[in-house]
Amino acid sequence: MVMNMWYSKHSPVFETKNSKSIVHPFIVKGHRGLTINPYQGCQHRCGYCYATYEWSPEFYDKIYAKSNAPEVLESQLKSWKSETIEPVMVSSATDAYQPAELKYGLTQKCIEVLQKHNVPYYVFTKSTLIERDLKLHQKYKDDCFLVWSITTCDEKIRRLMEPGTPPAHSMFKVIKKFTDAGVCCGVNIDPIMPFITDSQSQLQEIIDSCHDSGVPYVFGALLRLRSDIWERVKIILKLLHIENGIDQYKKTIYQFREPLEPWCNVTVNESYESRVLQNLEEKVSEKGMIFDFPDLIRSRRLNSNQSYNGGQQVTLTSYM
């Protein structure tokens, strides 16, 4: 099956479907976690997206709204077998606040259900539409944590690399409204793309904007390659005219030979990674922010305010 490319001027097709189950457990680095994805596919069209698996070749072009998601979530939480529940990640394989949310409102309804059952949650997004739900998250501010994934403040790069996302300056304006409202927010600079978004000046611009927006927590991670992602990244390197970029990725930064094994992840070499991340940590700390994400929310006894300290809780950095 041929994967559609991320760059397209066509709007995606929206379809609805019913899901049997919406809360799904997943294991990250040996830790348990829960996730909900109210949509399948994503209009943000990031070329480096990790969620573009072979079973969803129309990932960028056909967005499925799981129209019964709030009802299924309600029923799953009502019949939850355990006394406790881990924080829920909204969402792991799509952006819950992509444009489809304006039409269907499923994320908003799912958040209301999570709050009703006293379930803590994290939101990961690149969206400004989340501003619509500022009051909703604000009233739950001790039990939620909102993270914006921001890769670049350079508009030329953003328009090419993630054409469906809003510009960084718009996201920071929205973040400021959330931090002013007392909601705990973080920025995840992820992925940092070698030779594309890894320069000191680019990272500093994001860090300065985080600081100006009142963000207390900043984290970052380097791009991981997979065979399909590599095909798209090669095009991005070529379109940005990055001289020897493809060779440098293969020989120096990732050290692999083509073809890449299907669905196998390749990470950057350790010295490059520690150089970039140490520099990032230093710059973040200089601004008085924390280079980490907090374990703000513990597992909960379902439908109760009591936290539960047993078990191995998934933390935000486990998702990175």
Residues found near ligand SF4 in the complex (CB under 6 A): 42, 44-46, 49, 51, 94-95, 126, 162
Q: Which CB atom, from 97 or from 250, has the smaller least distance to ligand SF4? A: 97
| Shortest Cβ 312–ligand SF4 spacing (Å) | 26
Check if the beta carbon of residue 73 is closer than 8 Å to that of residue 105: no
Taking the CA atoms of 201, 205, 207 and 208 in sequence, report the sign of the dihedral they define: positive
Q: Which CB atom, from 39 or from 254, has the smaller least distance to ligand SF4? A: 39
Q: Which CB atom, from 42 or from 89, has the smaller least distance to ligand SF4? A: 42
| Shortest Cβ 61–ligand SF4 spacing (Å) | 12
| Shortest Cβ 238–ligand SF4 spacing (Å) | 20
Q: Which CB atom, from 40 or from 313, has the smaller least distance to ligand SF4? A: 40
SS3 316: helix
Q: Which CB atom, from 19 or from 37, has the smaller least distance to ligand SF4? A: 37
Give yes or no for a cis peptide into 38 (omega within 30° of 0). no
Burial of 122 (0-12, 13-18, 19+ CB in 10 A): buried
Phi and psi torsions of 103, nearest 5°: -80, -40
Q: Which CB atom, from 187 or from 289, has the smaller least distance to ligand SF4? A: 187
| Shortest Cβ 253–ligand SF4 spacing (Å) | 20
| Shortest Cβ 131–ligand SF4 spacing (Å) | 17
Check if the beta carbon of residue 249 is closer than 8 Å to that of residue 258: no
| Shortest Cβ 300–ligand SF4 spacing (Å) | 27
Q: In what order do the strands lie in the sheet with 39-40?
A: 13-17, 62-66, 39-40
SS3 36: strand
- The distance in angstroms from the start CA to the end CA of the chain is 29
